[in-house]
Amino acid sequence: MRPSRRHLLPSLAPALLLLLPLLALLPAAAAAAALGVNWGFSSSHPLRAAQVVRGLLLPNSVPRVRLAAASADALAALAGTGVAVTVGVPNDLLRPLASSRKAAAAWVHDNVTRYASGVRYIAVGDESFLFSHGQQNQSFQVKAAANIQRALVDAKLSNKMKVVVPCSSELYENTSTLPSKAYFRPEFNETIAELLSFLANHSSPFVVELNPFLSFQHKKNISLDYYLFQLMSHPVSDGHIKYDNYFDASIDTLVTALTNAGFSNMDIIVGRVGWPSDGAVNATPAIAQSFMTGLVNHLERKSGTPLRPKVLPVETFLFSLLDEDQQSIASGSYERHYGIFTFDGQAKYHVNLGQGSKALENAPDVQYLPSKWCVLDNNKDISNVSSSFSAACSHADCTALSSGGSCSGIGWPGNVSYAFNNYYQQHDQSEDGCNFDGLGLITTVDPSVDNCLFTVAIDTSTASFHPILAMLQILILCFCTYSLL
């Protein structure tokens, strides 16, 4: 007998209840379907991976995430969520992966196979061809990518994901600010030819990493409005084409370089683009929000660029999800302040990551160390405190004290207390972490001043420490490589 609707509906009720939250997310996720975020692990006291996924990515309807490295905790937390994952291969692994197919196969087995259903891309290297990296990885870049590709084929995964190589925009040269004058740098001719052929042979997109803030710092003659997608009275003219924003000009600069190299139709992914909120002049939450909002709105209009009208990058990854207090500051102190969220998962400003007009959800249930701070003891002789200040900053994160930073105005000796406290928190509030030759003082009174926050670190006693896991992985792969020699 065919069941009646009356009896059928109660049996479906539990399933419908499970589906309702997912259905509610669909319109917002679709609106930002090409967007994703970068998730890095260069933090002394990171949130647990499950907190990031369940507390930030899913509640804010983030459809895609690019991992800086193959974190087992992050991949496990992302498994089965429906979030599309790009797994990063750090530059430290390029040499062993390029030198040994066995090492590449082991990396794929350990980091991809068990999570294959959610992985869409393997990103080999980070900001390849960046000037500050020199040519140390140049000879390994494509070989490592090729070995990863072979490993995916052997694992029968090559039809589920693609291998890409994220490249710095410094790979192509432009003698002016005009996209039509761009070309790949001649010193990389051999490597770029190999890379483009590899990508084309496997129908993989070209991944470019954009740094609008660095560009703005270097090009003093271009208005901030150009970077923030705001109307300009004098757009940049390139022949008959006019550019009114940095993003379109950057994409078309790459399009021109690809065209000149014979790959005019190659798809493009923007692997990194963002704006910092601290650590430099013009690095503020308000300006970062203007940039991010302008970018997201621009992408949602789907207008494309003058050279590729109505064509968007395949994906665009915002940089970045969280602040990272151990990120390299070779380019500037602002590098540690790109997070849309603070280190502890609190939104700095509003941007549509997929959740629409709703406010961003903050990370719930964050466990902090006790409410204690380390400050300079003003009752002591502080005439020689400079050496202690320098020692603290050499091991802690003092980037907020940089010119234009949120703590740049607190003066002396407040900046010493800031440095002492950051060192103290990074060392899990140990008594030795607030010694400084007897000049440190532990207090339970919050010494924060206006926008200069003296933070309390996250309690990571139950969380995994990603940098240690990454180092162990490097050592294992190196052993695997050199055991074959």
192, 52: one domain: yes
In the chain, how many domains are there?
2
pLDDT at 453: 98
Q: Are 230 and 239 within 8 A, CB to CB?
A: no
Task: Give the global pTM.
Answer: 0.89
Question: H/E element holding 119?
Answer: strand 119-124
166, 268: one domain: yes
With respect to residue 319, please indicate whether it lies within any of the assigned structural domains: yes
pLDDT bin (cut points 50, 70, 90) of residue 189 is confident
260, 202: one domain: yes
- Which CATH number is 141's domain given? 3.20.20.80
Half-sphere exposure of residue 59, counting CA atoms within 13 Å on the CB side?
Answer: 15
Domain finish residue from 287, 321, 337: 337
Model pLDDT for residues 266-311, shown as the tens digit of each residue:
999 999 999 999 999 999 999 999 999 999 999 999 999 999 999 9
281, 161: one domain: yes
Asked if the model's pLDDT at residue 482 lies above 70, the reply is no
Cβ neighbors of 431 (< 8 A, separation 6 or more) are 442
pLDDT at 177: 77
Q: Are 70 and 111 within 8 A, CB to CB?
A: yes
**Cα distance between residue 230 and residue 223, in whole Å:** 10
With respect to residue 474, please indicate whether it lies within any of the assigned structural domains: no
Report the percentage of the chain scoring pLDDT > 70. 87
Is 300 noted as a catalytic residue in this protein?
no
Q: Give the Cβ contact number of residue 332 at 10 Å.
A: 17
Asked if the model's pLDDT at residue 143 lies above 70, the reply is yes
Burial of 462 (0-12, 13-18, 19+ CB in 10 A): exposed
144, 277: one domain: yes
Among the ranges given (15-29, 98-112, 178-192, 308-322), the one the predictor scored with the smallest mean pLDDT: 15-29
Q: What is the DSSP string of 230-266?
A: ---SSPEEETTEEE-SHHHHHHHHHHHHHHHTT-TT-
More confident residue, 354 or 479: 354
- Give phi and psi for 141, each to the nearest 5: -55, -60
What SS3 state is found at 66? strand
With respect to residue 139, please indicate whether it lies within any of the assigned structural domains: yes
With respect to residue 30, please indicate whether it lies within any of the assigned structural domains: yes
Domain range holding 407? 373-443
With respect to residue 361, please indicate whether it lies within any of the assigned structural domains: no
Residue from 127, 170, 324, 361 carrying the catalytic annotation: 127
pLDDT bin (cut points 50, 70, 90) of residue 139 is confident
Among the ranges given (109-123, 161-175, 331-345, 391-405), the one the predictor scored with the smallest mean pLDDT: 161-175
Q: What is the DSSP string of 120-166?
A: EEEEESSSBT-GGGTTTTHHHHHHHHHHHHHHHHHTT-TTT-EEE-E
C-alpha pair distances (Å), 411 with each of 392, 425, 431: 17, 21, 26
| Of 336, 335, 358, 331, nearest in space to 347 by CA | 358
Any idea what the Cα angle at residue 52 is, between residues 420 and 113, rounded to 5°?
120
Asked if the model's pLDDT at residue 116 lies above 60, the reply is yes
What mean pLDDT is reported for the chain?
A: 90
200, 329: one domain: yes
- Give phi and psi for 367, each to the nearest 5: -100, 120
Model pLDDT for residues 395-443, shown as the tens digit of each residue:
999 999 999 999 999 999 999 999 999 999 999 999 999 999 999 999 9
307, 392: one domain: no
Among the ranges given (260-264, 447-451, 458-462), the one the predictor scored with the smallest mean pLDDT: 458-462
pLDDT bin (cut points 50, 70, 90) of residue 72 is very high
Asked if the model's pLDDT at residue 21 lies above 70, the reply is no
99, 211: one domain: yes
Peptide bond into 21 cis (omega under 30): no
**Cα distance between residue 457 and residue 307, in whole Å:** 47
315, 433: one domain: no
pLDDT at 157: 98
Going by the DSSP 8-state scheme, the letter that residue 303 receives in this structure is -
pLDDT at 233: 79
With respect to residue 81, please indicate whether it lies within any of the assigned structural domains: yes
301, 379: one domain: no
Among the ranges given (195-209, 305-319, 469-483), the one the predictor scored with the smallest mean pLDDT: 469-483
**187-191, 283-287, 328-332: which is most confident:** 283-287
pLDDT at 475: 52
pLDDT at 131: 66
284, 406: one domain: no
326, 382: one domain: no
**Cα distance between residue 298 and residue 93, in whole Å:** 36
